[in-house]
Amino acid sequence: DAGVIQSPRHEVTEMGQEVTLRCKPISGHDYLFWYRQTMMRGLELLIYFNNNVPIDDSGMPEDRFSAKMPNASFSTLKIQPSEPRDSAVYFCASSLSGKGTEAFFGQGTRLTVV
């Protein structure tokens, strides 16, 4: 398996534009997580899905953020409209339920909003 795949790796956009980040989890994994990395807060959990269903979105900062998982092999994180303070690295991770399992991370998307 190629691991968790995120795209794009880098995104530069202007304030006010819509941004869509994409994630392909590892095949067979039933949990998917979106994290945001910032200097101040480290890795913040934004939202996670189990079997494509959003379980907890309490970490989503504002209504400008939304996430979907239309099927087991694809998820998106959308920011509309984007703001400079959204600039960060966004990571997607997937895992298999069960004790003793680990989460596998994608390479991240570095988002810069100017």
| Spatial CA neighbour of 76 closest among 84, 65, 87, 86 | 65
Comparing CB distances to another protein, the nearer of 9 and 80 is 9
- CA–CA gap between residue 54 and residue 52 (Å, rounded): 7
- CA–CA gap between residue 27 and residue 72 (Å, rounded): 8
Q: Could you say which of 45, 57, 72, 87 contacts another protein (CB under 8 A)?
A: 45
Mask for 74-103, x = binds another protein (CB under 8 A): -----------------x-x-x-x-xxxxx
Asked if residue 113 lies in contact with residue 82, where contact means CB atoms within 8 angstroms, the answer is yes
Comparing CB distances to another protein, the nearer of 3 and 16 is 3
Asked if residue 18 lies in contact with residue 80, where contact means CB atoms within 8 angstroms, the answer is yes
Comparing CB distances to another protein, the nearer of 50 and 81 is 50
Comparing CB distances to another protein, the nearer of 9 and 18 is 9
One-letter identity of residue 9? R
Residues lying near another protein in the complex (CB under 8 A) are found at: 4, 31, 33, 35, 41-43, 45, 48, 50, 55-56, 91, 93, 95, 97, 99-108
